[in-house]
Copies of this chain bind each other. A is one copy, B any other.
Amino acid sequence: MSTTLDAPAEFRRVTAASPVVAIVGATGAVGVELLGCLEARGFPLSRLKLLASPRSAGKTMHFRGKDIGVEALDDNSFEGVDIALFSAGSGISKRYAAAAVKAGAVVVDNSSAFRMDPEVPLVVPEVNAAALAQHRGIVANPNCVAAIATVALAPLHRAHPIRRLQAATYQAASGAGAAAMEELRLSTAASLQGESFEPKVLPHPYAFNLFSHNAEMDEASGYNGEETKVIAETRRILGAAELPIGITCIRVPVLRAHAMALTVEFDEVVSVEEARRLLEAAPGLRLVDDRARNHFPMPSEASGQDDVLVGRLRTDLGDPSGRSLAMFVAGDQLLKGAALNAVQIAERLLSGR
């Protein structure tokens, strides 16, 4: 099958045996992880092209034992590129994705630019890989919370449609980029030494502190942009357009793995045992649910791991009907929440599955 853009329902696979892959935003926190995932997973690429802002051009990055120079992104960057992994913010995606598609590449975009575009599939491979068949050159990689949450929710939702979801998040610094991670380290070091620290990257002090997510606030509804994204994207990925979702997104002083408390209501009573079985059998998940040892999902154990951790499964005492389950989830924001999911999408584009 050849690479074409014509028929809407056609699955435009990447057919090069050893595709050329470009990373846009290679020097960012997610860019670094994209390199790592491509290498760790033995992604069958013939050439890796690293693109970034002119400021970062000229740097070199290490990949498969070689140094690769970072080039400045421009309209001609995508010639000969089969897969372009974008991770440089919405503005860059909106500006350059069309050029990449025009040059023949399939774009996997980690920004929010196209996530709600009906012509762009929003994909978590374990959950809705079939949506890839609709792509027309661009595939959107979801918000980190939505990606991590849906891996844990989908196995339950498939067996027993979820009717209502309540979430409170515990989000790591990495979601705000490498500079936020460094601000967490520096401000914490200052605090331990009794020194003052002026936050530059995040709007509030971060050392031993937490705060409502720093995404833009919709003043009318009182929900911030992070919460709005998670609601819309979770619905889209699960194929549950009307699912009521209540959510509070909080930034906590953790470096790179997100956690979340989820409460899920079904139409009927779903036993903890059945939920455990469903989650245990599901791809991309690891059940960490040891009541005797008080061992449940933690950012420290999710960091650097491909699998999303799920546990603390129990019948929710807040629902007198007994039809709700509570659980706690942790996943690496930079991996399943970003780079890993993008590379998994790219793998599916190659295999056509």
Contacts and interface: CB of A to CB of B under 8 A. Distances in A.
Given A210-B170, A217-B291, A244-B319, A204 B326 contact: no
Interface string A241-269: 00011111010111100010101000000
A254 B192 CA distance: 12
Interface centre among A211, A219, A299, A312 (most CB of B within 10 A): A211
B223 A317 contact: yes
A45 interface: no
A63 B173 CA distance: 41
6 contacts: A219-B292, A221-B315, A221-B317, A244-B317, A248-B312, A253-B254
Interface string A171-212: 000000000000011001100100000000001110011111
Contacts of A165: 318
Interface residues of A, number: 59
A145 to B, nearest CB: 14
Contacts of A221: 314-315, 317
Given A203-B294, A246-B317, A254 B208 contact: yes
B328 A170 contact: no
A222 interface: yes
Interface string A85-107: 00000000000000000000000
Total copies of this chain within the assembly: 2
Nearest to A242: B320
Contacts of A314: 221-223
Contact of A298 (B204, B231, B255, B263): B204
Given A165-B318, A204-B300, A254 B209 contact: yes
A38 interface: no
Contacts of A320: 164, 244
Given A210-B299, A252-B210, A294 B170 contact: no
Contacts of A259: 210, 250
A201 B155 CA distance: 37
A254 B253 CA distance: 8
A314 to B, nearest CB: 3
B318 A214 contact: no
A166 interface: yes
A184 B166 contact: no
A316 interface: yes
A184 B208 contact: yes
Contacts of A299: 208-210
Contact of A185 (B192, B272, B294): B192
Contacts of A168: 168, 248, 261
Interface in A277-326: 291-292, 294, 296, 298-300, 312-320, 324, 326
Given A185-B192, A298-B204, A300-B209, A170 B250 contact: yes
A128 interface: no
A217 B294 contact: yes
A3 interface: no
A77 interface: no
Contacts of A244: 317-320
